[in-house]
Structure 1
């Protein structure tokens, strides 16, 4: 309806500027506009009634809608009334000012001036044409064309034609030259020229409605050409010149004429024109006011709808409901506000889901981290700035041989046997703090050697550690350390292997010449010395030979240790190999009895039978020697040596254990027992356990050496080897 009203109002305003349209359609245009205004008024009343009903029901947004409608109505009505009053006064006075006596006189004078100007120019062109016609007086018809061209240029004409007495063209110049049938002058015009000698007419002013009328207005001058001879038989000739008038002059003349005509028409309909403009203005006011109020109600309703959605959404969000919210599909700010609110609600729901997922991920990551820490071979301890233990992993308990979990929230220095270690760690952290800003360090690293524990506590003497420290957020400190005792032992074993190789090479070569020289000396001097001196000689030679043999045996042991071949791993029945070796340690051959406890469930392992046979011999011989030595020094009854195997199904390993009832290992020997030339025997070389360790490494077996302790008293030593199962053979 608003669109129809606007179209009708546009047509009404067009009618006020078009007299024909005004006369034909103004009445029904006014009627239709009045009907539209009444329809808008009815819609406005209906909207007001609905608003009052909503207000009585107390619906949310009714007051806001009433306020917005009132604001729009005031904004639309008051400026409209002001413009209407001003426009009414302006139209009334302006129409009266249009029809002034001086204006009418000025327009009449302008029209007269235009006519006089055009007549003067026409008369002047006719006079010049008559003067120029004298050039044709003595020119025959055949040569008249050249003269016409010259006259055309002199007059600035667009066309020149020479006519005979019967109205036939004799010669021409300009546009008529290309015309087969040029416009002929009438007989009346020819008679007039015979009487008055000249005549002219202005053409093109009557065709005002045509396009480019200024360029088509021209003056046609017709003059009589004087003849040099007199006589009745001489035929007169007529010269016609066509000259275009200046377009600016013609346009001004036409404009003055049209303005005067329109002024006269408007002057006749002065009263009707005033009523028409004021009526149109009044209808425009009604349409504008009614449309503004109706638009206020509609826009207010559109403004309130998003607010209602927002209010409902806010109540749902406040109650914890983050389900998707409805939106207004509009491009204005309120529609964008509802979309933003729906997006915010979705983001809150996504954020809640993300937080829940993050909490689950954090819990999983914490569990994974704890699993990693629990299974790390390295020890990990988190300390505060004062050195108090915040947390630790099982690796720290295993390496430090202390129940670290029991000392959480306590200083590291309170752990038995770790006071010096804690002091050193604290000192390194303090130094790290001082040098961190100067050198850009992110951690420190330092090797440590832990002290021995009290009697009966196994394994911390000589434990070599490499520790690394770093700063954590919130002032906490991270301490990570690894047990490198085996690495140090392996390095020492490698060094001893090199020493053994060189000793075998450097010492063995001169031993044979020494032995041969001593025996040759005894043979050469035999029977040539007195009995007493010969006895001394023989005794010395035997001593030399015996010591050389002992040196050879020692060198051979070092050579065998250095040249131990690579293990040839094959499927092997460990129980069968032990039973085969034990045939050499029966009661008829051994000074110390060997008892075996073999697990009948044991599957095959991967091993080298020859090297493992040597391992079993070395362990049994060491165990027998230790047991016999303890019996001789302590006068205790000799107990048998025990050898056993046990299957650990969880780890897929078989454990071989040899234990004795000797004196055990001193604490300073316990961690270095597998190094070459480390022994407790008076005449031992210290290569037995070193060979055992080297063969175990070739087999990928783990070797453990501990003292058996009962009631804080050492009751002997125990060596264990843990071998991998032959999985392929088991399948």
Structure 2
């Protein structure tokens, strides 16, 4: 699977990621600070006190933030210029993206700034109009007049209501006062004496220890106008005085005349307090506040214009710088996947199919990097699969080559013209030609193989002509090769069975095997049958012939004299001698044809060899050899017993020693120590075999005889029958032993021959 970007291990990637996140965090922090400062500036414009107190500081901080953003933008532009100068992929794309985002952010910002500047300048001038100022003055006058009218109305109502108290004595005035308070909607109604003593009260003031007495100003107004009213909780312009002042209300004071006879005649004063209507007070307050702000801003219109334009300019700078910076960041975000794709493509083109980095996200470009990483992984898997398949093919090819190299059969791949494409060591061994060095040469160009190559080509031509018609998949034929190993002697023949088949691309497969040993075995079997028949057909007439010759000599010897008698005796002797020779030959035929089945028993090979060699003077009872004996024996005391037929093995040892003595006869050895025949036994520990070797110092065997030496009637001796080695091989096969025949070569010269038999040791008896 592809790796996520944050799971990449290389230190450079981690450092780049840390640097990128640090930059984004710093930019976000600066933009956040700038937005907060703009917000504070906007809030300051609505509060003159706050504006006058903190505007300078806010303005400086905004300028610093704008300067930092400008430096960051300049640094980013410098880096883009360096990338463009170095010719890095994606530089033009980053510049285009930054320019697009920058124009998208700057041009509308400039347009809005120009329009806003004109709007602010003209709007501020339009705020301070004579009509507006007159309207505010009229509103303020109207609010004051409304409050005064409300106070006069309340005073008149209180004067009319005071008539109901004229005839009520002081002791009974409490109940009428409470009724009067409810009638007037007043909060407090108090009745005072002329001396300022509270006679009775209704409302909240009765719970007060010292209720508010009529002021001197109200008393003067009462004497002057007959009714005194006062607005409390309202300033001179008709607005609310403040949070700590009493709530807005109307206080009225009227005299109460006394008409009853029983009264003392002391004047009394009726005082009432009525709250002002909330709506009226709110409207008055709004008019008052609007007029106050209007007057203040009218005095500072130039500063107000500078404040708004400055705030607008700072907002423009921050927005433009933020837009450009955001353009660079977003452009980098858009270009990063493309850069990763380009780098990954260069790596893939260079053969690097390691897992690629994948960015996190769900947009199409990130998905493209993920798809590219998946494709790269699939390519890597495919290449690994191909490499694995190639290794498997190479292993199979190596295994096939090993099999071909170890096949006893010969294998040759030819093209349609008979040119050798490849071969195995078996072909070199069987054909006795340098096949590996002859690759690329025609088979017919190799010495001694011309006829064989022509016959093979003819077989392939016939096979290709008949394959489509008869559905054949191969052809097979036997061949005899002559003269390529021993000077063209007919006896030096190699029997081959060859098999041919077609390969792809017009190539041809030729497989052949040396069946000379099989042919030799068939010949041995045939000679065994011939020997049996000859022994049967020839043996019977031999005895009558011998008896007849001897009877003739017995009958005619006395009748002949001189030369005739000598001729008769000589002729009869010759007949008898030849009959004996033929008798021996027939016996050998019989023994070869009727070799009995071996009876295997545990045998000490050293003792058996010493027993046989005792007949040749080559060893005593202890198996040791004499220094001057024609036959020498080197025994390996570590040889374990073997399973064998003692009688047949004696015959084998006798035949081999006799053949070795015959081969060494008349040959001068190179050294005195090499004289005679050497018989040796060896225990071969690595292969667990007991080896019996008979070594002579004769002329060795011709190359043509080595291949057929174990066939019946193949011999190099003038008087030999050629059955000795054939009997040896047959007995060895009965014992499960391997027999080898080879010439001994020293310094390129044949110095004798060696026959070896390898026996398996007898298993230990439990």
- TM-score calculated relative to the size of structure 1: 0.49
Q: TM-score, normalised by structure 2?
A: 0.47
Structure label with greater radius of gyration = 2
